[in-house]
A = this chain, B = another copy of it.
Amino acid sequence: MILAGQRTPGPLLVLDGWLGRVQLFSDGRRQILSFLLPGDVIQDAHTFQPVAPSTITALCDAVLCPAPPAEEEGLREAYAASAALDEIHLLRQIARLGRMSAYERIQDWLSEAHERLSLAGRAGPESFPMPLTQEMLADALGLTSVHVNRTLQAMRRDGVLEWRGGAVRLRQTGTSMVPRGRPLPESAIPALRKALLAG
């Protein structure tokens, strides 16, 4: 994990790579609580909170830098939007783990990854980079890597998924069981992503 600039106590910005907030159980079980993708902000609260229920780990090579101060023009709303988005992702993760089958979880999660990477300008219209191993995916989705593997094969057989060479192509079925809210406001989030990733 590369930190650009000296390590200042304060929020960090993910420039490249994927990180995860991870919880380890004392018996070895592992849960990836959420992912941090390029353009995401790591609030220092997450890292240094008195109650620290999670650790942040790099899931592949990653580049971070100190996040620019919120005082800059228009960045305050961008931070707020980013925090709101984070919470939405946590809620979606809960619904996924609580009420979806393995097949649905993977579909939904890949879908979310695609959306988020698109906002960060890191995805094509139909495909996107996937640096995770099947085991990491399993740890995020509450499954075993063996079952993730078998489910991925089923998705390939169904023509829903291609996953080769660290890139995923996902064919949307369009029949999501989950009613999504209105589409994201076009302004705030890309503003942050672009403003920050450009710098």
Contacts and interface: CB of A to CB of B under 8 A. Distances in A.
Contacts of A26: 177-179
A56 to B, nearest CB: 12
A91 interface: yes
Given A26-B178, A30-B99, A92 B185 contact: no
A185 B139 CA distance: 30
Interface string A7-46: 0000000000000010111110111011000000000010
A7 to B, nearest CB: 22
Given A23-B91, A92-B53, A98 B177 contact: no
B178 A99 contact: no
A87 B88 contact: no
Contacts of A179: 24-26
A97 B141 CA distance: 9
A70 interface: no
Which of the four size classes fits the interface of chain A?
35 or more
Nearest to A143: B98
A146 interface: no
Given A23-B178, A25-B178, A26-B178, A99 B50 contact: no
Nearest to A28: B177
Interface in A104-118: none
Given A25-B179, A31-B98, A34-B91, 5 more contacts: A31-B95, A33-B95, A49-B88, A90-B90, A94-B94
29 contacts: A21-B91, A23-B178, A24-B179, A25-B178, A26-B177, A26-B178, A26-B179, A29-B177, A30-B99, A31-B94, A31-B98, A33-B91, A34-B91, A34-B94, A49-B181, A50-B182, A51-B184, A52-B181, A53-B91, A53-B95, A53-B178, A53-B180, A53-B181, A87-B90, A90-B94, A93-B94, A94-B94, A98-B139, A99-B142
